[in-house]
Amino acid sequence: MVTFLRRIVMMIHGFLLFSLCFSDYGFLQGVTSLGINYGQVGSNLPQPDRVLDLLSSLKLTKARIYDTNPQILTAFANSNIELIVTIENQMLPVVMDPQQSLQWVSTHIKPYFPATKITGIAVGNEVFTDDDTTLIGYLVPAILSIHGALVQLGLDKYIQVSTPNSLAVLEESFPPSAASFKSEVSVVMSQFLQFLSSTGSPFWINAYTYFAYKDDPNMISLDYVLFNRNPGMIDPYTKLHYDNMLYAQVDAVVYAMFRLGYGGIEVRVSETGWPSKGDPNEIGATAENAAVYNRNLLTRQMNNEGTPLRPDMRLEVYLFALFNEDMKPGPTSERNYGLFQPDGTMAYNVGLPALATTSSTSSASISLTSSATKVKP
């Protein structure tokens, strides 16, 4: 009993401390396009109602989950959290059938909406680069069926449908203006982009500059991938200057879509982050680098920045992740992307209060809405 109470006290202390860093100093005041990924592959994560308290204390109003956990959907009801839910990859062959899609939406979405602000459905995750290549053939039919079910139930005006993609879907990504999708996915990708264009839905990209640095630390500047001050790079074809890799990655996706004939689709970052711990061969995976990456990214979010190619479109970004997930397989870094430990204590201090001293109030709320001004490249 004593141990349990000690954990609760530690959790509350962590929540309050992080809240001070982010809200009492007004750090998130004015941020309009920031969300966070709420993964659940942990052995001792806080209950969803406590997670809701944490998000509220941080003044975050956007989150993404990797399923349709009914406990989360219920706990988040009547809150101001906009939620993206996920259909798992293994469900794609099922929901590609229109009747199965209607049943899925009727069971997993309709009972909770609109009390729970479900704003997006991710149909699969990184399907184009999944080891199971048969999934690609199911993707667009599943997306069309899910959207059709939303239309049938009158929910399509409120809930967008898309799928998050790995940057590995690109054949070329540097310089950004030379980017293209891999030829083996171009046919299905064109069908997917046609859907996005016709419905006004975004292209979601999971973009990790950490991987690029880890794979080639001698050639890639750490300052460039961490948003620190650096000379940056100039795209030789467009003459656009990039002072960080994330924006270059996003613009590479825009150019790749343009090459397939689609120039007006918004790109949003569905995942980005930096691990605070890694194996000996995972160069750069440190708490210091994680704190710098997230601090600098959040500073950019404060300024509602766009990319060099689309400076007038605020870049929507979802941080990965809210918690370290101690049950995830793979290298050590996979379990250490969180801002918090599974028990609710802080994984590391992002160190943000000093950056927000210009805030005029410590109690101002923020609006994290998707109101980007859409422009073509």
126 annotated active-site: yes
Tell me: cis bond preceding 364? Omega within 30 of 0 counts: no
| Residue that is written with structure tokens 């809210």 in the block | 322
**62-64, strands of its sheet edge to edge:** 160-162, 117-123, 82-87, 62-64, 34-37, 317-319, 267-272, 203-206, 164-166
Name the DSSP class of 367: -
User: What's the CA gap between 82 and 62, in Å, rounded?
Assistant: 5
Long-range contacts of 362-367 (CB under 8 A, 24+ apart): 362/23, 362/24, 362/25, 362/26, 364/26, 364/29, 365/59, 366/28, 366/29, 366/30, 366/31, 366/32, 366/59, 366/61, 367/32, 367/61
Burial (CB count <10 Å: 0-12, 13-18, 19+), residue 341:
buried
Strand-strand pairing, 241-242 and 233-234: antiparallel
User: What's the CA gap between 51 and 40, in Å, rounded?
Assistant: 11
Which one of 126, 266, 282, 316 is the catalytic residue?
A: 126
Give 242's strand partners.
233
Which one of 271, 282, 316, 325 is the catalytic residue?
A: 271
- Active site amino acids: 126, 271
